[in-house]
Amino acid sequence: MYQTFPLNPELVYTEKAKYDTAKTEFESGDIQLRAKAERGRRYWKLVWATAPRSEYDIFRSFHRDHLGSATPFYFNPADACADPYCPPDVSSEAGGTLDEHTVYAAYTWCDSEGAETKPSQAGALIVAVNRLATVTVPYFPPNVAYANVYVGPASGTLYKQSGAIATSGGTWTEPSGGYSESGDPTPTENTLDEDVFVHFLSDEFEQSRVTPNTWAFDCELEELFE
């Protein structure tokens, strides 16, 4: 059973992402770089400026017990899982007997406990007569179990639809009688926390004694793909 990092940084919290790339060289001399994964590997630097001795002792003990890449752990970033940005792919398929109608659609990320992000940007489509809207979401980021779909007549008037998307990159299809206008509106707050699988980037950490009872130290974490 992997442990969870027990502390929150006091002063500075920085995050960066790095993409692992593959290089292909062509006879023409061109070189193509492409990402090996759909997202970048993330790194965090956590800084404490005036930690009490009790907190310093917790960190020192945890760091000692998790040296090296063979002892990873979970880290809960200060920020919740990022809200989705890109709009969904809104298209249509034959079906139903609806008149021509305009559909706006967005989606949210959710975890297995029902926590949810704020919505993505909305995509839109004029759906022709006797056709049904389809909404396809991107691939799920880490710790996302499903996506809720919100549909409505305008980008600011969206309703939660039944039948969440449980497959990464999956598609929601409009019912034959049209989308529902009785569902909840889009969330206004992001409640989706993220547990990231990480290890200490170094077996060393910087530390200094600021006063007899306070310490300053920092560490860097590297994300591991499970």
Is 12 a residue whose pLDDT tops 70?
Answer: no
**pLDDT, tens digit (0-9, with 9 covering 90-100), for 117-161:** 999 999 999 999 999 999 999 999 877 899 999 999 999 999 999
Tell me whether residue 142 is in a domain.
yes
Tell me whether residue 202 is in a domain.
yes
pTM greater than 0.75 (yes/no): no
> How many domains are contained in the chain?
2
Identify the pLDDT of residue 55: 93
Q: Are residues 56 and 95 in the same domain?
A: no
Q: Are residues 97 and 167 in the same domain?
A: yes
Identify the pLDDT of residue 15: 67
Q: Are residues 47 and 108 in the same domain?
A: no
The answer to whether residues 113 and 195 touch, using CB atoms and an 8 Å cutoff, is no
For 64, other C-beta atoms within 10 Å of its C-beta total 9
Q: Are residues 71 and 99 in the same domain?
A: no
Higher-scoring residue by pLDDT: 36, 145: 145
Lowest mean pLDDT among 38-42, 63-67, 71-75: 38-42
Identify the pLDDT of residue 13: 62
Lowest mean pLDDT among 9-13, 55-59, 63-67: 9-13
Q: Are residues 62 and 100 in the same domain?
A: no
Range 16-32 average pLDDT: 76
Tell me whether residue 149 is in a domain.
yes
Q: Are residues 72 and 98 in the same domain?
A: no
For 109, other C-beta atoms within 10 Å of its C-beta total 28
Tell me whether residue 82 is in a domain.
no
Domain that holds residue 115: 89-173
**In sequence order, what are the beta bridge partners of 196?**
75
Tell me whether residue 100 is in a domain.
yes
Identify the pLDDT of residue 132: 98
Identify the pLDDT of residue 37: 64
Is 175 a residue whose pLDDT tops 80?
Answer: yes
The SS3 assignment for 219 reads: strand
111 contacts: CB under 8 Å, gap ≥ 6: 81, 143, 144, 145, 192, 193
Tell me whether residue 183 is in a domain.
no
Tell me whether residue 6 is in a domain.
no
Identify the pLDDT of residue 36: 65
The whole-chain average pLDDT of the chain stands at 89
Q: Are residues 72 and 94 in the same domain?
A: no
Tell me whether residue 45 is in a domain.
yes
